[in-house]
Amino acid sequence: MADSISSVCNLAILEKLSDGSIEEILESYNGFCAATDTLLNGAGDLSVGPQFVSHVHGLCKHGLESLLRDHFLDALERTFEKNGALKFWRHFEAYDDVSVEEEVFYNALEEISLEKQYQEKCLLILVHALQSYNHGSHDSNDYRVELFAKYQMSVSSVLMATLPRHFPEILHWYFKGRLEELSTIMGGDFPHDDDEDDDDDDDDKDDMDLDDKCKVSYRSGQMEIDECYPQGRFLDNNKLVNNIGKVVRDLRSLGFTSMTEDAYASAIFLFLKAKVHDLAGDDYRISVLESIKGWIQAVPLQFLHALLAYLGDSVSYDSVSSGLKSPLASCPSTFYPGIDTPSEGLVRWQLRLEYFAYETLQDLRITKLFEIIVDYPDSSPAIEDLKQCLEYTGQHSKLVESFISALRYRLLTAGASTNDILHQYVSTIKALRTIDPAGVFLEAVGEPIRDYLRGRKDTIKCIVTMLTDGTGGNPNVSGNTGDSLLEELNRDEENQENAGLDDDFHTDDKQAWINASRWEPDPVEADPLKGSRNRRKVDILGMIVGIIGSKDQLVNEYRVMLAEKLLNKSDYDIDTEIRTLELLKIHFGESSMQKCEIMLNDLIDSKRTNGNIKATITQTSQAGSELGDNWVSMDVFDATIISSNFWPQIQDESLNVPGPVDQLLSDYAKRFNEIKTPRKLLWKKSLGTVKLELQFEDRAVQFVVAPVHAAIIMQFQDQTSWTSKNLAAAIGVPTDMLNRRINFWISKGILAESLGADSEDHVFTLMEGMVDSGKNGGTNGSIEDLIVADEEGESSVASVEDQLRKEMTVYEKFILGMLTNFGSMALDRIHNTLKMFCIADPPYDKTLQQLQSFLTGLVSEEKLELRDGMYFLKK
């Protein structure tokens, strides 16, 4: 092969040469080739050196310097391929997977490095030979560098060309293994753990509480500063790092620089990721950010520091960074054990690692954000972590997207109760308020929840319940979350005082100045379409009201619930209601709560009037005492007197109360008329509460019931069996109503129902003395028997929907008239027309949705027809 090349290449020059010189050249060249072969394959034998040099000189004389140089490099390359690369790869051939033993790896590297060193020595001989011939006519140093670069290039190209596919993996696993080793040495057990609590430390790891974690990071921090490793361990770790350093250096010299860097970087990142996942876990009650940072300091940075120091990088970087003082280097909060000024390379690494850790933790937390918010008050450390991560990475939009999809998937489904959704919404508001005080992301996240809640019928009711009573209307939810809204009312009390909800302008200059100085620009992610002229108030109540759209609906619902509550009160104790009302007044403005205030005022007035009447009344039926048993004293009688115009519509049903009570009512009304002339009382006999005691021969049972129940049971005093028709006539209610109401007594086991002669006419019989085996278990007169009659879902106050329907019927003839004239109309046209023409008494003030639901009602009553969004008269 060598001969063939030489004969081809030399042909051109041959003509100019004399026979003698040809002879000489051929001889020198053959000698040179032989010497090269011996040199390169001679297994470390440099004895042919002088001979080699003389041949080189011989060839140079004839100007064949480049030829011999190329030949030599070519020979080097081929030898390297044969002796170095193939052998090197053979070491790994046995390992199909990536788990190469450390020893094998070291040996292979060692061998190929030796080979390379030897070849470099040979190359050096050539360089010297050429230099000695030329006597410095070249810039000797440049020449040498050039040759070595060529050699280096050929070495790496040989290796790259023969690279087995799994080699990068092998490198990766090697570094991973070493890192794990290092981590166990450095980050693992701490010196003092060894003596006392080594064995239970492992067990404790999972459920370490906050204190422990802090201690750990503190300890590791201290460890770094004081460098208080036990000597042996320190040496171990030094040896390990030195080994790694050597490996990296060797690999670099073989031309694997970037592959090596990739390998250890990816190993470090993977390891860091695993560590973050490990530390963060599913426990949101502890903050993990600090311990992660501590760990980065303790393990990977130590590793990199040692590595960079070993490779001599830190020194070179040091000199640069001290001059440049790059912004990266000005990171004051970090400590680097062992070195005073961190090298720039290390700072870069630290920033990379921290960013990666933040990002990993952030991603982890974001995917679990739903769960975190579910246990919000407990999980605030996790929220705090997430906040810091996001400040660092700025990937808020990721949070918004992921959280919205989690919400859609998990919360906004038909299976979730409105209460739960509201609670989650409140928690979300609170949690995101921490992360993002300006409320920009909250707006984005809240939107789907609000939209969804608007579609639910019981939303308003749930909100009002949450607002007014502590339990949030859902006994399953623990009290503290239910309290939240009421507490929110309290908490915001002082904030709201200077920033009235109704008017947003501040006449007070000072206040305006304070507001102006508090202004902060919106984050860049803010949607400019959503006006931000007023700084967003992250006000939970405001956002809750925002669900409904207008506070009027909320106030209305509250009024209905308040009425219900007040009418069922048997004492006049309204302290909690007054307090709630005062708080609501602050939020919704005095005028909108006016009616509610009158309702409460009625209760207060009633108490006074009631006392007044009872003190001054002269019971006309004094003689009634002679009637004996059935006489009822005025002492047990109280009344609530309401200003009916200001209360929600009350469903008043006719009822004949028992005679003695009726007598009381008229006496009371008469006295009222005397005191308050010219006002008079109209009794709403079916409303109120009655506390009564059923006295049987062997026992007595107490109940708190509605008047209708009392009227029913009192009829059984004289006559133990009634047919439903007769009983209904006696107490003056319709039969179906009676049948419904009487169920209460049947369910208590006081009355029994049986079919009478007429199948329509049931017979009710008093169960005298048979009830002991029943539900009440005979605990006579004890508190358990004080059963409050449930209304069986029938409230005395008309629900908001019923009221709405009633109010809308006024417009029915308008709508029908309109449709007669115009033929067909779309929803919004009907709405606008009503708004335009029904301006007086009662003015049309309904929303589009309300109108739509009313029209839907008319369609189902077959008065209207709906086709393609147009309403028609049904023909």
Partner 1 sequence: MKVNILQWHAVASWTWDAQDETCGICRMAFDGCCPDCKLPGDDCPLIWGACNHAFHLHCILKWVNSQTSQAHCPMCRREWHFKG
Q: What does the binding site for partner 1 look like in residue numbers (CB under 8 A)?
A: 567, 569-570, 594, 597-598, 601, 605, 629, 632, 636-647, 661, 664-665, 668-669, 672-673, 676-685, 687-696, 702, 707, 710, 713-714, 716-717, 720, 766, 768
| Preceding peptide of 342 cis, ω within 30° | no
Q: Least distance from C-beta 607 to partner 1, angstroms?
A: 12
Q: How many other CB atoms sit within 10 Å of the CB of residue 800?
A: 17
Q: Least distance from C-beta 674 to partner 1, angstroms?
A: 12
Closer CB to partner 1, 716 or 854, in the complex: 716
Tokens (6 digits) for 204 = 């404790």
CA angle 96, 98, 99 (to 5 degrees): 105
Closer CB to partner 1, 231 or 677, in the complex: 677
Q: Least distance from C-beta 665 to partner 1, angstroms?
A: 7
Closer CB to partner 1, 374 or 751, in the complex: 751
Please give the C-alpha separations between residue 224 and each of 101, 221, 291, 301, in angstroms, as whole numbers.
Answer: 31, 5, 14, 11
End-to-end distance of the chain based on CA atoms, in angstroms? 107
Q: Least distance from C-beta 774 to partner 1, angstroms?
A: 15
Q: Least distance from C-beta 582 to partner 1, angstroms?
A: 15
Q: Least distance from C-beta 700 to partner 1, angstroms?
A: 8
- The alpha carbon torsion through 693, 695, 700, 706 (nearest 10 deg) reads -30
Closer CB to partner 1, 530 or 691, in the complex: 691
Contact 544, 485 (CB under 8 A): yes
Q: Report DSSP state, residue 721.
A: E
Reported for 14-23, long-range contacts at CB under 8 A and 24+ positions apart, including other chains, are 17/62, 21/62
Q: Least distance from C-beta 453 to partner 1, angstroms?
A: 34
Closer CB to partner 1, 548 or 567, in the complex: 567
Cα–Cα nearest to 289, from 378, 207, 365 = 365
Closer CB to partner 1, 526 or 598, in the complex: 598
Alpha-helical (H) ranges within 775-823 are 800-822
Closer CB to partner 1, 192 or 806, in the complex: 806
Give the helix/strand (H/E) hosting 701.
Answer: strand 700-705
CA distance 730 to 239: 104
3-class secondary-structure state, position 311 = coil
Closer CB to partner 1, 576 or 695, in the complex: 695
Q: Least distance from C-beta 619 to partner 1, angstroms?
A: 14
Closer CB to partner 1, 550 or 643, in the complex: 643
Q: What is the CA radius of gyration of the chain?
A: 47
CA distance 840 to 3: 117
Closer CB to partner 1, 223 or 599, in the complex: 599
Closer CB to partner 1, 476 or 644, in the complex: 644
Closer CB to partner 1, 115 or 638, in the complex: 638
Q: Report DSSP state, residue 752.
A: E
Q: Which residues of 172-194 are buried (b: 16+ CB within 10 A; e: fewer)?
A: bbbbbbbbeebbebbbeebeebe
| Preceding peptide of 475 cis, ω within 30° | no
Cα–Cα nearest to 275, from 388, 179, 198 = 179
What is the dihedral sign for C-alpha 69, 75, 77, 83? negative
What is the dihedral sign for C-alpha 492, 498, 504, 510? negative
Q: Report DSSP state, residue 186.
A: I
Contacts of 576 (CB under 8 A, 6+ apart): none
Closer CB to partner 1, 506 or 670, in the complex: 670
CA distance 47 to 67: 24
Q: Least distance from C-beta 525 to partner 1, angstroms?
A: 47
What is the dihedral sign for C-alpha 55, 57, 61, 66? positive
Contact 675, 618 (CB under 8 A): no
Residue pointed to by tokens 């040809």: 22
CA distance 613 to 681: 13
Closer CB to partner 1, 134 or 719, in the complex: 719
Q: How many other CB atoms sit within 10 Å of the CB of residue 393?
A: 16
Q: Least distance from C-beta 461 to partner 1, angstroms?
A: 23
Q: Least distance from C-beta 207 to partner 1, angstroms?
A: 55
Q: Least distance from C-beta 657 to partner 1, angstroms?
A: 8
Closer CB to partner 1, 389 or 681, in the complex: 681
Closer CB to partner 1, 434 or 594, in the complex: 594
Q: Least distance from C-beta 287 to partner 1, angstroms?
A: 53
Q: Least distance from C-beta 680 to partner 1, angstroms?
A: 5
Q: Least distance from C-beta 605 to partner 1, angstroms?
A: 7
CA angle 6, 127, 68 (to 5 degrees): 5
CA distance 261 to 248: 8
Specify burial of residue 501 (Cβ count, 10 A radius: 0-12, 13-18, 19+): middle
Q: Least distance from C-beta 429 to partner 1, angstroms?
A: 35
Q: Least distance from C-beta 672 to partner 1, angstroms?
A: 7
What is the dihedral sign for C-alpha 57, 62, 63, 65? negative
Q: How many other CB atoms sit within 10 Å of the CB of residue 121?
A: 12
CA distance 242 to 220: 23
Closer CB to partner 1, 537 or 614, in the complex: 614
Cα–Cα nearest to 247, from 303, 195, 207 = 303
Specify burial of residue 417 (Cβ count, 10 A radius: 0-12, 13-18, 19+): middle
Closer CB to partner 1, 215 or 608, in the complex: 608
Q: Least distance from C-beta 792 to partner 1, angstroms?
A: 19
Cα–Cα nearest to 5, from 72, 105, 54, 87 = 72
